[in-house]
A and B are shown apart, each in its own frame.
Chain A
Amino acid sequence: MHELAVAQALIEQVGDVIRQHRAQRATRIRVRIGPLAGVVPELLGNAFPLAATGSRMEHAVLDLVAAPITVRCETCDAETEATMNRLVCAACGDWHTRIISGDELLLESVELETTPSLTSGL
């Protein structure tokens, strides 16, 4: 649904990285998505090529890394894995927990081509 808006934000950020490093193009883009970010990786993967058409990341491989959901219990301090709709502590069952991982939507890294390639036609 809103994944196209997210893809456009991604392209803007990668574009900034390409410019800052005076690179030719991005070849690989790594994004870390937690299930609680509200973004469906498959839909973002579909939206990306549409949004990237004609840009310097048009042919980049988009790596979508799934982040696990981890919570820290405020009662017993245990750090456990949790599921989307059950963010309670797996150790003591208390619901007073804090998300450690699982809600991130992060541009992790970008691989850039810094020298013109022979096939680039530049």
Chain B
Amino acid sequence: MCDTCGCNLTPGNRHLAFKPVAPGSTAVSVLKNLLAKNDDQATHNREHFDRRGILALNLMSSPGSGKTALLEATLAALKDEFTCAVIEGDLETENDALRIRALGVQAHQIVTGTACHLDAHLVHDALHRMNLDGVDILFIENVGNLVCPASFDLGQHLNVTLLSVTEGDDKPAKYPVMFRAADAMLLTKTDLLAVLDDFDPDKAEAHLRNLANPAPVMRLSARRALGMDAWLAWLRNELAAQRARVKHGQTRRPAIQPDGAQLHRATA
């Protein structure tokens, strides 16, 4: 390990560092995750959450799969039990934050402009504009997008990925980077299954397993209050697990870390 350049030499990669180059030039092995800066900020955000005993969740899905509707139903169901707060990410408008505030829940809207994802710095700025005192659960509703948000750690403990039954049941196979990162997959709008004959929830789950992902799959309809109990029980359970971790000075990173490369063996 070289302290001056952050390089990370091991017997497996040493050959990369000292290959011959032309005179007057030198080759430097770096082996650093490209998104290290984002990840450092995400780690810092997680420290914010852990210090306050907050469970932070990152909700990801395609646009229109029902993230905000799920939040509305969830916040209403939990209002006497926990203090929740929400960070909303959208390219434009405060509409989603207004919907959450209408329920009496603190919501901060991040307007990303043209950016297709939230990153750890945007979330950090938002945290400093919020009152986190007494908050038990923070929901971060990412920009509706099944591609980019998967690559950026925000500091959350868990990723929740939504798949509405009006989409294809093969979405996990089409967007493996996103669905591999899910700590829980929610099949939403299941009340519509009766009129949709081409979405098979079992197939959606099988596609998720093909990504080597053991995440629980919950089927629900936020609008018709179907299957919400399992989801709320999962949330209670995860909050209890977070509190237990905090007590022991531990934390949890979401299922997939973009710097998973560090876990790889040197020869990988």
On A, residues with C-beta under 8 Å from B are 1-2, 5-6, 9-10, 12-13, 16-17, 20-21, 23, 27-28, 30-32, 34, 36-39, 67, 70-71, 84-88, 95-101, 103-115, 117
Q: Beyond A88-B212, A109-B28, A112-B26: 11 further Cβ-contacts under 8 Å? A: A1-B148, A5-B117, A21-B28, A27-B25, A38-B177, A71-B212, A85-B211, A95-B211, A105-B261, A107-B33, A107-B34
User: B210 is contacted by which of A30, A87, A113 (Cβ under 8 Å)?
Assistant: A87
Cβ–Cβ < 8 Å partners of B29 in chain A: 108-109
A-contact 0/1 string along B1-31, CB 8 Å cutoff: 0001110000001001100010011111111
User: B261 is contacted by which of A84, A95, A103 (Cβ under 8 Å)?
Assistant: A103
The verdict on B256 contacting chain A, using a C-beta distance below 8 Å, is yes
A-contact 0/1 string along B176-216, CB 8 Å cutoff: 11101000000000000000000000000001011111100
The verdict on B248 contacting chain A, using a C-beta distance below 8 Å, is no
Cβ–Cβ < 8 Å partners of A101 in chain B: 264, 268
Cβ–Cβ < 8 Å partners of A1 in chain B: 116, 145, 147-148
CB distance from A85 to the nearest CB of B (A): 4
CB distance from B124 to the nearest CB of A (A): 16
Cβ–Cβ < 8 Å partners of B5 in chain A: 16-17, 20-21
Output the nearest chain B residue to A104 by Cβ-Cβ distance.
B261
Known contacts A9-B38, A31-B34, A107-B31; A84/B176 CB under 8 A: yes
In the A-B complex, the 4 residue pairs with the closest CB atoms: A104-B261, A2-B148, A101-B268, A38-B177
User: A6 is contacted by which of B31, B34, B174 (Cβ under 8 Å)?
Assistant: B34
User: A37 is contacted by which of B16, B24, B32, B151 (Cβ under 8 Å)?
Assistant: B151
The verdict on B35 contacting chain A, using a C-beta distance below 8 Å, is yes
Contact in complex: B212, A2 (CB < 8 Å): no
The verdict on B258 contacting chain A, using a C-beta distance below 8 Å, is yes
